Amino acid sequence: IDPLSKNDLINGDLRKIAVTIEKWSISLLSQAGKIELENTTSSNSSLEDDDKGLLDSFSDEVSVKEGWKLKFESTKLLGKVVSESSKKHALADKVFLKIPICSILVGPMVEDVEQLSIDFNLEKIDIFYSVMTHFIIISSLHLLRNTIFEFLQYSEKSDVPKTPSSPEKKAGIEELLDRVHLNFNIDYLDLIFVAPDRMKLKCEVNRASAIVLPKSPILLNSHYMRLCAESPTTPGYWSRILTAVNGSTQVNIQDILANNDENTWFNLANESCHLTIPHQFIIYKVFENISVMAKTLRQLHHSLKYNTDEIVINPKAKPAHKIPRTNLKSNRLLFSMDDDPVSYTHLRAHETRRHL
């Protein structure tokens, strides 16, 4: 593929991506863990005479075990892309990510020092996602791979590519990943998704957390989750589609990666769940946009990964995909459909006249 074509330029300029951080810091902390000694009836301090008294140290009562923590903190992280809009063929700034306060803590586990714990603590996340934003971000990463880091694939004395990674190296990476424990804590998540046909969805999650352990299911928890769609009748407002209170989700990632559809992939549980269909909202368009977006991203990643314009999305008749096994438990499950406000008003007026 031509590395630079006329379609890459907007009024003679390229699309861009920028990430800024107002303030950040990295610190290496030394941590001491106290270990109690066994009870004993004698100690060095009890043998001191009256002239010296007791020892002025507690080193005989506890021993100190040194540990370490690597901490990264940032404030006002802002990500934006510079691209054209659907209505105007000119470059403009679009903010797609805002994180006011972020903290990442890396260190050994207290119970087992051979296990590594990585904790992500985020105060709030605002994300604006679209296929175009995804394209610009992924294209930027592939641009770095194909230019700056391309020389890492070749030896210094010849243009022969280096040998692929050995099985021992891959096994070492897998062994390293088996020792990593990930913890995510997010106070508030606000995600706006723009579908290929310009339909907008919004997901809000309050007090969310995720735990990823080696060779174990992924655990997701949230205090409150709300999914909204742009109102079909009142532009500029959101209509609720789904709300869930005190929800938890267990993702059996091992079965998903092994494509084992005989076992349950997802276990969903919540205290209360309410599904609503807004007036004039066409629900099948949500699933249609998911299908279109998945095919678009598949073609995009194939073209960028192999630097080719080969078409890998070939429409053809095929049977419907099986829905993975999912367990849903809820103490209170509601389903409702919003009626036409005008018809509802006329119906109430008619009912009122009947009772007069």
- Cα separation, 69 vs 30, whole angstroms: 6
* pLDDT tens profile 269-322: 999 999 998 888 888 888 888 888 888 888 888 888 887 888 888 878 888 778
* Confidence at residue 152, expressed as pLDDT on a 0 to 100 scale: 61
Question: 3-state SS of the chain: helix, strand, coil percent to 5?
Answer: 25, 45, 35
Full-model pTM: 0.74
Check: CB of residue 62 under 8 Å from CB of residue 37.
yes
* pLDDT tens profile 113-163: 788 899 999 999 999 998 888 888 888 888 787 777 665 655 444 454 545
Strands 272-277 and 333-337: parallel
* pLDDT tens profile 9-53: 666 667 788 889 999 999 988 765 444 434 444 444 444 455 555
* Confidence at residue 303, expressed as pLDDT on a 0 to 100 scale: 85
- Cα separation, 77 vs 79, whole angstroms: 7
* Confidence at residue 66, expressed as pLDDT on a 0 to 100 scale: 55
* pLDDT tens profile 197-248: 888 999 999 999 999 998 899 999 999 999 999 988 888 889 999 999 999 9
* Confidence at residue 304, expressed as pLDDT on a 0 to 100 scale: 82
